[in-house]
Every structure is written in structure tokens, then in C-alpha cells.
Amino acid sequence: MKKLVVFCILLIFISACGRNPDGSYNMPLLYKINIQQGNVIEQRMLDRLKPDMDKNQVQYIMGTPLLIDPFHNNRWEYVFSFKAGGDTREQRHITLHFNEAEKLSHITGDIIAAEGTRDLNAIIEGEAVIVPESVGKKKGFFSRLLDKVNPF
């Protein structure tokens, strides 16, 4: 019995030396979670982007940007990072540039070129982005209560 206890303690001490460079442990049967951060960026989302789209249309397709630089308001940064279990981290970085009229001018970053020739100025009606109309802001509880108490 003493040998089993000593063996278990020795195994724990030896496993403490088995760390990876990123700080994680390299132990068998240790569950490692998937880590996903940032905006999910898919190629079909990038394919829907067209030149001269306004910022609302771009945000409807891509979602809220991860970073809008206060010194460069016409540049939106989208970063997606994924690390599965014990694998290496994969990262994708897209930058959308807008002109002075707040229309999409060009895209830089990790982009896969579309196959064949593609006229970026031709928008097919089926691929046109229609941003839904936003409804008026609903009043909160206290605003409605104040309106009932003081209707003027």
C-alpha cells in the first residue's frame, strides 16, 4: 500500500514538470476546452460585401467590429481567434476601410480570393443586402410611469 501511495505522489510531482510553453499541462486524460474569441468571420460573409456599401449594411453582414480606432474612424477591425483543445491557435484578421462618404472602399487582411472573375460593382438582386428598419425606441418602465403621473 505504501508503494502505491509513493507511486501516486511521484506521478503527481513528475506531471507538474510536463508543462507546455503556453502554460497548459500536457497530461493524458486532461480535458482541454476550445477557446473562441472575437467575431466569427466566414468566407460567405466576405463574399456578400460589395464596394460602396454604407456602414449599416456592412455591420448587418459582419456584425459589430471588434475595434474601431478613435483616430481612424473609417477603419473597422474584425479579429477571430480559435484554439481547439490542445491544438495551435488559428487567427483571422480582416480590416474594412471606408471612404469619406462612409462607404466601403476596400478590404485588407486574411482574404481568400474568389474563384473566376467577379465584377464587384455588379450587385445581383438576390445578393443585395437589405437592412431591416429599426423600430422606435421603446420607453422604459420609469418613463411610462412619469408620463402617467405628469402627462404634460
Q: Is residue 47 within 8 Å of residue 114, measured between CB atoms? A: yes
Convert 2-16 to b/e letters by CB count within 10 Å (16 or more is b). eeeeeeeeeeeeeee
Amino acid occupying residue 143? S
Residue 36 parent element (H or E)? strand 35-38
**Band of the pLDDT at 124, cuts 50, 70, 90?**
very low
- In sequence order, which ranges of the chain are alpha helices (DSSP H)? 2-16, 43-48, 55-62, 141-149
**Band of the pLDDT at 141, cuts 50, 70, 90?**
confident
Threshold 0.85, pTM exceeds: no
What average pLDDT is seen over the chain?
Answer: 76
Residue-wise pLDDT tens digits, 50-106: 888 888 888 888 888 888 878 888 898 988 888 887 677 888 888 888 988 888 888
Point out the least confidently predicted range of 1-10, 94-103, 104-113.
Answer: 104-113
